[in-house]
Amino acid sequence: MAYKIIASMCTGCGACEFECPNKAIKESDGVFIIKADKCTECEGAFDTPQCAAVCPVDDTCVPA
């Protein structure tokens, strides 16, 4: 399963893009999206998904 970013809640800060160990997060029209085929929920790299850990808006980065 992959994570997703709820576009309507994304502030476009970009914090998540730099924390993703799989380079699965990209900017699109001022908000960020997660490429599901690249997202591993940070398994094997971190204990928790880093996009959710660094996001300044609660519940913006959630399981798909």
Residue range 36-47: average pLDDT?
96
Quote the CA–CA distance of 13 and 44 in Å, as a whole number.
26
Alpha helices in the chain (DSSP H): 15-19, 50-54
9 in Cβ contact with 61 (< 8 Å): no
pLDDT per residue over 1-32, tens digit each?
899 999 999 999 999 999 999 999 999 888 89
Give the CATH fold of the 3-63 domain.
Answer: Alpha-Beta Plaits (3.30.70)
pLDDT computed for residue 1 by the predictor? 83
Tokens matching residue 31: 């908000």
Task: Please tell me the predicted confidence (pLDDT) of residue 47.
Answer: 96
Q: Compute the mean pLDDT over every residue in the chain, rounded to the nearest whole number.
A: 95
Domain spans, the chain: 3-63
Model-wide pTM > 0.75: yes
Residues 34/6, Cβ–Cβ less than 8 Å: no
